[in-house]
Structure 1
Amino acid sequence: MDLGITGRTALVAASTSGLGRAVAEALAAEGARVVVTGRRGEAAREIAARLPEAIGVEADLAAPDGPRLMAEAARSAYGDPDILVLNGPGPRPGRAADITHDEVSGALETLVLAQQRLTALVLPAMRARGWGRILAIGSSGIAAPLPDLALSNLGRAATAAYLKTLAAEVAADGVTVNLLLPGRIATDRVAGLDRAKAAREDRSREDVEAESRAAIPAGRYGAPAEFGAAAAFLCSAPASYVTGTALRCDGGLVRGL
């Protein structure tokens, strides 16, 4: 299938590692011009240098000027973004009864407010052109809140509600807005969560991973490239009638429809 995004400009937030990097690489493989961003500028530039057409930008989405720096860098290099991939670091694990007011504020800043600011910067040009793709990397916790991830569940659910509302408002302008929800994808973030659970429960990490795999119908953790491929489709021309949707890429982990 020709995804129809050759020459399109894709701005990918927090794309120096994990799922963000996997999406950046998948979009680049389909011919998009990619803006790789992250707090580690050297890493962003190194990753961009390996892609067919890309630049690396040092910018922290959660910093006050982060969204502006990202949008301006994309425009300077390639023009207004056609594709925006929203992504942000997950907050620390924690139970709902134990989180603090400051931690809630921080989760909302990183997972909601910063992503809304970046969206507002690139959306007008998409609407004016009559073509745009906005995709948020979410969490399966949106569909079924995850134990011990109260801050992530809270922030990502709020972002999902905002994007679902936005999708209906801009669909007639040729702009789609979707979420892609990972389950247990083999990234450093998931490995860290497994280590934290093992420490809390005084178990080995291998035991925790085996338990997690047993709960996944596919019987394994997903590969980042598999997640990237699903993201690339949602950002594609053929996906023009898919909007306001939260697609799970989780190997069947969440049992609800």
Structure 2
Amino acid sequence: MELGLKQKVALVHGAGGGLGGAIARALAAEGATVVVCDINETYLAATCEAIESAGGKAIGKQWDLAQIDRFKQWHGEVVDAVGPIDILCNNTGGPPPSLVQNIERDVWQRHFNEMVLSVITMTDLVLPGMKERNWGRVITSASSGVVAPIANLGLSNSLRSALVGWSKTLAREVGPNGITTNVLVPGRIATQRIVALDKAKAAREDRSYDTVVQESVATIPARRYGDPAEYGAAAAFLASCQASYITGSVIRVDGGLIANV
């Protein structure tokens, strides 16, 4: 299937990591020029190299989601280098595991800025150009916790859920402009984030890491963790011309993990 992404420009945050990197590679494979953004220059360079080695087009941009006051400048630099953004993939890092009780106010504020306000600010920067061209895609990575809250991930469940409400509201506002906005929900995808969460659970419960993984896999109908490439493929489809009638949706890529209908 031709996704119609040739000549499009995509900006992917957190593209040095597992999910963001997979999205960046998938979009590049479909012919988009990808702006690879990450705070870690080493990881950022690795994703760019992987894309270019496969024949794709990528440029790297170090981007700290905590420095929201610099977003306008960085966005301008990107547009000057490759042109206006057609596809924005909002992908932020996850906060540390925690209960939802008794979290210090400054911790709430810091993670709200990095996980919610950064996404809203970046999207507001690209929307005017998308409206001018009457075409755009905004894809926001969340967590299965927005559908069924996950124990001991209080910060993530709360903050990512705010983005679902925002994305749904935005879809109604920008739909007449040919812009779609959707939330992509990963289940247990085999990334370093999942490894860290499984190890933290093993340590917390004084059990072996392998036992925790085996029990986790047993709860997934597909009986395995997802491949990041499968997540990237779902994002590429949502970015495509064929997905122009999908907006305001929450799309699960979870192997059937989430029990809720």
Fold match, TM over 0.5?
A: yes
Spell out, residue by residue over 1:130-154, the C-alpha distance to the aligned partner (whole angstroms, 9 max, x if none): 0000000111111111110000011
Superposed structure 1 runs of 4+ greater than 6 Å apart: none
Tell me, yes or no, if the aligned pair for 1:15 and 1:21 is still in contact at 8 Å.
Answer: yes
| Counterpart residue identity of residue 8, structure 1 | K
Identity of aligned residues (%): 47
Contact 1:59 1:69 in 2 (8 A): no
Unmatched segments (≥5 aa) in structure 2:
none
Q: 1:181 to 1:41 in 2, by over 3 A?
A: same
The residue identity in structure 2 corresponding to 1:182 is: P
Aligned residue in 1 for 2:116: 112
Question: Which has the larger displacement, 156-165 or 44-53?
Answer: 44-53
1:83 aligns with 2:87: yes
> Aligned partners of 2:176, 2:157: CA distance in 1, in Å?
30
TM-score, length-scaled by structure 1? 0.97
Given candidates 93, 115, 139, the residue that maps to 2:97 is 93
Could you say which residue in structure 2 is the equivalent of 1:130?
A: 134
Cα deviations by residue, 1:188-220 (Å, 9 ceiling, x for unpaired): 001000000000000011011011001111101
Root-mean-square deviation (CA, aligned residues, Å) is 1.2
Residue in structure 2 matched with residue 48 of structure 1 by the alignment: 48
Q: What is the CA deviation profile of residues 111-164 of structure 1, one whole-angstrom value per residue up to 9, with x for unaligned ones? A: 110111100110110011100000001111111111100000111001111111
1:222 maps to what in 2?
Answer: 226
**Residue by residue, what CA displacement relative to the aligned partner does 1:154-195 show, whole Å, maximum 9, x if unpaired?**
110011111110011000100000010000000000100000
Per-residue CA deviations over 1:42-98 (Å, capped at 9, x if unaligned) read 432342133211100111122134533542232122111000000111000001124
Where does residue 248 of structure 1 map in the other structure? 252
Q: Provide the TM-score with structure 2 as the length reference.
A: 0.95
Q: How does 1:100-249 map to 2 (within 5 A)?
A: 100-249=104-253
Measured in 2, the distance between the counterparts of 1:86 and 1:33 equals 16
The one-letter code of the counterpart of 1:193 is L
Cα–Cα, structure 1 residues 106 and 25, in superposed 2: closer, same or farther, change >3 Å?
A: same
Counterpart Cα distance in 2 of 1:45 and 1:73: 18
Distance in 2 separating the partners of 1:105 and 1:92? 14
Residue of structure 1 equivalent to 2:14: 14
Match for 2:135: what amino acid? W
